[in-house]
Amino acid sequence: MGGQALSAHPLPDLSVEFCGIRLANPLVAVSGTAGWGRELEAVEGFDARDLGALILKTVTPNPRAGNAVPRLAETPAGLLNSIGLENPGLDVFVREILPGLKGFGCPILASVAGETPEEYGEAAGRVSEAGVVAAIELNLSCPNVKKGGHAFGQDVRAIEAAVASARRATRLPIVAKMTPNVADPVPFAVAALDAGADALSAINTLRGLSVDLEGRRCVLGAGGGGLSGPAVKPVALWFVHALSNVARPRGKPVLGMGGVSTGRDALEFMVAGAAAVGIGTILFRNPLSARRIRDEMAAECARLGVRAVRELTGTLVRP
């Protein structure tokens, strides 16, 4: 052999592009699971470079106290939450929280919501002016007070109005977060894209209920809540595939999420059409899970002979 070193197989390229933002890997900590970023930074061993990006907790123009406790309830293969978008409001967010996130170690996305289309625009505009975030996700699960409290995400016209309002207020990429609590997500996705969204994210939580049999009452203080975790993965994969068939022909990416716990889970979402993959509930179990999932993705890509993970997006073969 003459002392020649054997050539090693190159490591798979895990980098992806999402809305023009380069991510070191496809994993995005989703809104509500990593607080304001500081919570993860306080965990011993956490390195932001293990993530592709982080989406902050949702902020609204006015402070919100959130829902009554208890707010979390474990279920078989999942977690119910009813936080109620507790947050300090835009003033505190822009003045005190965003400045501390400069140089975080991975791209930061803001999540905004409102009770009227105009509030979505106000939030998007003010967050953009702070100059820290790379994109803005619109949490469309809030009730629209102008339409009698019906959730934005379940009303095509409300989606159009909220996205258009945000589009007028910012030049940053806009990601519309879609609800799974509709029979057919396609009209809602089309409405968001037509109104100016640069990407879609899916899914938000499924509606659920946990019952205290002995007490004959709801476990959560607000009654029902949103179900996340492994239990929702098949539903999430279906929605991501359906939405990608709408978004990808327009050159718009999808951020897929719902029950991702392993590298294999994440790659399945990419095959179904996701350009990037959200992780959330798993972070409550272990805030350092991103590193393991990233390494598992690399190992799976190597096993499959995939040189760049982005090559898997949208490769699902249907019978």
Residues assigned a catalytic role: 142
SS3 content of the chain, % helix, strand, coil (to 5): 35, 20, 40
The residue among 184, 178, 183 whose CA lies nearest residue 203 is 178
Q: What are the strands of the beta sheet with 78-81, ordered from one edge? A: 72-75, 78-81, 225-228, 206-208
DSSP H or E stretch at residue 138 = strand 135-139
The residue among 294, 283, 293 whose CA lies nearest residue 40 is 283
Report helix, strand or coil for 230: helix
Strand partners, 79: 74, 228
Question: CA 160 from chain center: how many Å?
Answer: 20
How long a stretch of residues is the chain? 319
Joined together, the tokens standing for residue 296 give 């598992």
DSSP 8-state assignment for residue 121: H
